[in-house]
Each structure stands twice: as structure tokens, then as C-alpha cells.
Amino acid sequence: RRLNVRVNIELLSISNPVHKKDLAVRLTDDTDPFFLYNLVISEEDFQSLKSQQGLLVDFSAFPQKFIDLLQQCIQEQNKDIPRFLLQLVSSAPALDHTPVSLNVVETNPFKHLTHLSLKFLPGTDAEIKKFLANCLKCFKEDKMMLEEKLKKTEEDLSRQLSYTQQSLAEKSRELDKLKNEWTSYTTALSNKHSQELTSEKERALQAQTQYQQQHEQQKKELENLHQKSIQQLQNRLSELEVINKDLTERRYKGDSTVRELKAKLSGLEDECQRAKQEVLSLRRENTTLDAECHEKEKLINQLQTRVAVLEQEIKDKDQLVTRTKEVLDATQEQKVILEENTEEKQKHIEKLETTIKSLSAELLKANEIIKKLQGDLKTLMSKLKLKNTVTIQQEKLLAEKEEKLQKEQKESQEMGQSLRMKEQEVCKLQEQLESTIQKLEESKQLLKTNENVITWLNRQLSEVQMAKKLDTPAAHAAGRAAGSPFGMPDRPSFHSSGISHPISPLYAFQNFLEPTQSKNGNSQCPVQLNSQLSKLSRCSDAHTVPAAGHAANKENGDQLGLESKYFKKKDDSIPLRGLSQNTLNSEYLRPCLLPKAQPSPKAAGTPASAYFPG
């Protein structure tokens, strides 16, 4: 059966001994005073009810949500198939003081969903009596209020009646007066109107004759104008037909152009979609390139530090040859370490690339999860009216995700800009690296030339020492006079320096070139060899003979080859004790073997052996 039930909901606050809040719900029927069911829910009872029925609302928001459900039931009660129903179910066949459950049910074609189920207890005799007493008290108060209102309305109505009767009498008197005045006024007006009508009829007949004459004249004029306008309109029609034909042809042409443009538009849209896909792929590549760029920056910084160390080593290598060898060994060791470091870095890069690939796969999975969540959201939108709190939380989550997406888009744009900047920096650093590599190669070439000079000097020294051991000074002089085809003089000795062995063959070679220079004026290579060998002879521990040096300067003019500052004696330089007689062989007179030495700007303060060509 169907009943109209009154539901009263009250929040009871109890302060003794502990401050508590209870929710009291009462079911009553206005037609049946003995129909009374009560339910009192405390906060503890609500927690158990929440866990049993899976509610998502707190105790403070539960009354309002319950009222909202009841209002939806009230809105749907007059429909043939209501969506929301209130069911009062009892275990007994009739409502005979047995516990009852009140269910809020939502009906759909598939299932009846119970959103809330509350168990009510029937009211006891004392509760029914108390309820009836309260109802009686309310009815009596309403009765007293109605009686007072009745008395007030009766008094007001009696006053209004007396006032209206008085006003009616006055109005009736005024009506009689007005009737008399109206009759007199109507008679006078009828007489006036009859006279005016006769005069107006005469005027109208005169005006009618005049208007007829004017009308005939205007009719003739209008007929003439009408014929002229018809001729003009016919001419205009012929012109418009010609214009219409032109316009139809233009329209057909415009339609064809519109079709072509639509085809082009579809092609451009396809290209736009492809471009968007390419942009997405480029964004993914940007992330990988950022990691690679960061690693390359680290490598470049390390290489720059290594290059600075190598430049310092190159400056230090201009000192002693022994130190240059040690520095060479150190640089080779550092090269090996650098190669090992680069291999380790490449391995690290490969690991990072694998991690980036895994992260991209996880991002794709996250996108699929987001799509699934969006589908779930669409299904949950139908239940928004019942689950307002859940939808609010989901809207917050969606807003946060949208903000995160916007932030990620901004970060991707910023990363693209930073990538461009870093690419420019990488280009600059590569140029610097190339310049440093060129410098390194130049330093290596210098080191090779230095090693060649050192080996050559060592050979010369060993040959001199062997010559000392084998030959005595007298036999050496006799053999030299006999073996020299040019008849070279003996080598003088330097007693002032305390050297007992004879002078180096360089001196004899210098004196040998003096008479032959006048014959070979155009050959430049022997002069260069003479000047270079004379300068090398000055770098020995013994003092040079001033007469020979002046003679060479006078005959040769300005000396070619290395400057004198490169052959000054240094404390850490290797002394030249003399060269063997093999320097007089013809192979040293060839132009290709001893070219003119070009001094380097870094050569100030370095020994002569460091810049002598091999």
C-alpha cells in the first residue's frame, strides 16, 4: 500500500557528562495518531552504519544528504514510474509494533539500488502518549491563534461594512444629480449636432465635385507616367538578364574553385596532423637530447681541464730535455686514462638511454591509464546527483592533472629553448676542442723534432768520444791534412779555456767555406750551414776564437739561420764538445737536409738544441 508519511529530523546536543550529538528521526502519519516510529543515531552508531552500507559521508554532512534524498523522493512521487522511492518494510504482515526498515531505493531498468537503509523501532505507550500530548498542545495553540485571528478579521470586516454603506449612500445621491445634468446636456448637444450636420452635408457636396474633377486630371497624368515607367522597366529587365547570365557563369567558376580549395584544405589538414605527430616525436627526442647534451657538457669540461694541463706541460717542456721526456710519459698515461674515462662515459650513456626508453614506456602506460580514468569519469557522471562529495574530489584531481599537464607543456617549451642554447654552446666548445687538438698536434711535432735533435747530438757526442780514444792529436792532424781534398788547416786549441783536445771540425768547416763563397755566390744552402754551424760552435764550453767569428761575419754579411739569442749558454743545457769529421761529408751540403731554422716566439730562454731542426 502507499501512504503519506511525515519525517522529522532533529539534531540533539547533549553536554552532560560528555558533549555529544545525536540524530533523531521520527516517522508519523497525520491520519493515524498511533503510527509512530523512532530512530536515534549517535556518532558511534553512524560509524558502524557507514562501514556496513559503504557510505562516503561524515556524521556532520549525513542529515543534509538524507534530506536531499527525501526531497528527490517527494519530487518523483507524482510520476507513474518514480525513480526514487521510500520503502517501509516490516517483517510482520501488518504494522503491529514491530521493527521497521526505511529504505531509499533508486529504480532503473536493470536493478533496484538501495542507497540507504535505516531500522526504526515502534514507539512505546509512553512515547505515543508524549507524542499525542505534543500534538494536542500544538493543535490547541493553533486553535488559540486562529480564534484570535477570527476576532480580528470580524472586527475589521464590520468596520469596513459600515464605512462602505456610508460611502454607498453618498455615491447614490451623486448619481442622481449626474443623471439630471446628463439629460439636459444631451438634449442641448443633439440640437447643436443636427444644425452642424446640415451645414457639413452642403460642404461635403461641394468638396465632392471638386475632388472628382481633380481625380480625373490626376488619373490622366498617372496613366502617362505609368507607360513611361513600363518602358524603362523593360529596358532595365533586358540589362538585368545579361548581368544574370554573367553572374551564373561566375558562380559556376566559383563553385569549381571552392571544390579545388576544399581538396587542398583536406590535404593541408592531413599535413597538419602529420606535423603534430612529428612535433610529439621531436619532443620525446628533446628529452633524450637534453640528457646527452648534459653528458657532453661534462665531457667537454673534463677535456678543457685536460687541455689546460697539457698547455702548461707544453710550456714546461721548453726547459730540459730530460724533463720533456718525463712529461711525455705523463701525457701518454693521461691519454690512456682519458680513453678509459670516455669508454666508461659511453657505457654510462647507454645505461641512461635504456632508462629513458623505460621512462617513455611508463609514460605511454600512464597515458593509457588516464584514458581509462576518463572513460570511468563519463560513466560516473550519471551518478553525480547522489555522490556530490566524490565528484568534488574527482574534479579537484582533474584540475591538478590539468595544471600538471600545463606545467609539463611549459617545461617542454623551456627545455626546447635551453636545448637550442646548449647546442650553440656545444658548437662553440667543439670549435675550441678542434683548436686545442691542433695545438696538441703542433706540440707533438715540436717534441718529435726535439727528440730527433737530441738523438743527433748524442750520436755526434759519441763519435767525438770515440775519435778521442782512437786518435792522438798529431796523427789526427796528419790524417786530416792528407784526407782533406781542399787542404784545410789544422784545428787550433783553446788554452784559455783549459780544454786539451783540439777544436771541433765546425771551425775548420767555417774556414773552408770562406774562399769558396766567392765562386758559388748564387748557392744559398752552404752559407746557411756555415752560419748555423758557427753558432753551434759558440755554444760549447770553450771560448770561441774571435778572429774566425769576425772573418765569417765580414764575408757573409748578415748571418742567416737562427738568431744568437737561441745559442746562449744555459746552466741546464748540454755542452757541445765537438763534432766528428763526418760533418765535412758532402751529404751535409745538400739543401734539403739542413734548411734555414725558423725560431719560435716561445724560444726565449730555451737551449739551442730544442729548436735545431733534425
> At CB < 8 A and 24+ separation, what contacts does 343-351 make?
345/295, 345/298, 345/299, 348/295, 349/292, 349/295
Section 175-202 average pLDDT: 88
Range with top average pLDDT, 98-102, 377-381, 589-593: 98-102
Tell me what percent of the residues of the chain surpass a pLDDT of 70. 74
Distance between CA atoms of residues 132 and 117, nearest Å:
27
Beta-ladder partners of 39: 25
* Residue 517 predicted with pLDDT over 90: no
Of 26-35, 75-84, 90-99, give the lowest mean pLDDT range. Answer: 90-99
**Rounded Cα–Cα distance for residues 316 and 313 (Å):** 5
CA distances from 77 to 83, 86, 90 (A): 9, 9, 21
Residue 524 has pLDDT above 50, yes or no: no
Q: Is 566 exposed, middle or buried (0-12, 13-18, 19+ CB in 10 A)?
A: buried
Whose CA is closest to 457, among 319, 583, 566?
Answer: 583
Question: HEC profile for 277-319?
Answer: HHHHHHHHHHHHHHHHHHHHHHHHHHHHHHHHHHHHHHHHCCC
Per-residue pLDDT, 325: 74
Domains by residue range for the chain, with CATH: 5-123 (2.170.210.20)
Q: Which residue has the cell 464590520?
A: 158
Give per-residue burial for 483-506: e unless 16+ CB within 10 Å, then b. eeeeebeebeebeeeebebbbbbb
Structure-block grid coordinates of residue 65: 544528504
Q: How far apart are CA 62 and CA 497, in angstroms?
A: 119
CA distance 593 to 586: 11
Report pLDDT for 472.
Answer: 56
- Which pLDDT value is given to residue 493? 42
b/e map 235-270, b = 16+ CB within 10 Å: eeeeeeeeeeeeeeeeeeeeeeeeeeeeeeeeeeee
Once rounded to an integer, what is the mean pLDDT over residues 304-319?
A: 78
Q: Three-state DSSP class for 120? A: strand
pTM (two decimals): 0.29
Residue 286: per-residue pLDDT: 86
Q: For residue 345, give the C-alpha cell.
A: 662515459
How buried is 450 (Cβ within 10 angstroms: 0-12 exposed, 13-18 middle, 19+ buried)? Answer: buried
